[in-house]
Amino acid sequence: MKPFNSLREAAEYAVTLSDGWHFANTSETYEKESLLPLAQTSDEEDPIDEDNFYLVSSGGSIGLCEDAEDIDWLFIANAEKDTVLPDVYSASTDNCFCSQCGHRLAPGANFCDECGAKLN
């Protein structure tokens, strides 16, 4: 799963993985054409806190992760309709946060730029 700081960025990545979504537990559906403007509006009107970020699953579902922990899946990709998505974000499997100090890491980083820990 990849973290994103805005819904627009998450949506732009998600549209490369899926071409349809439904919103959480509702029957409301979205396509590429409706997802991107919605994401833009959401960022403008309701930006997320610094401690939160959006996640995109391998199948293109979009979730909101709060405090780098609980995941609230917002847009479920059609292909993942029946998939059980994780409800907790695991930094270790994604290597997006330093295991020593918890600092957010740049993609592909070999060392934590906060504490210098070597990363796998």
Q: Which residues bind Zn ion (CB under 5 A)?
A: 98, 100-101, 103, 112, 114-115, 117
Nearer to Zn ion, 34 or 90 (CB): 90
Q: Report yes or no: 49 and 6 within 8 Å, Cβ to Cβ.
A: no
Q: In terms of Cα–Cα distance, which of 80, 77, 101, 97 is closest to 89?
A: 97
CB of 110 to Zn ion, least distance (A): 12
CB of 119 to Zn ion, least distance (A): 8
Largest CA distance in the chain: 47
Nearer to Zn ion, 24 or 101 (CB): 101
Task: For residue 43, give both structure tokens.
Answer: 């960022």
CB of 104 to Zn ion, least distance (A): 10
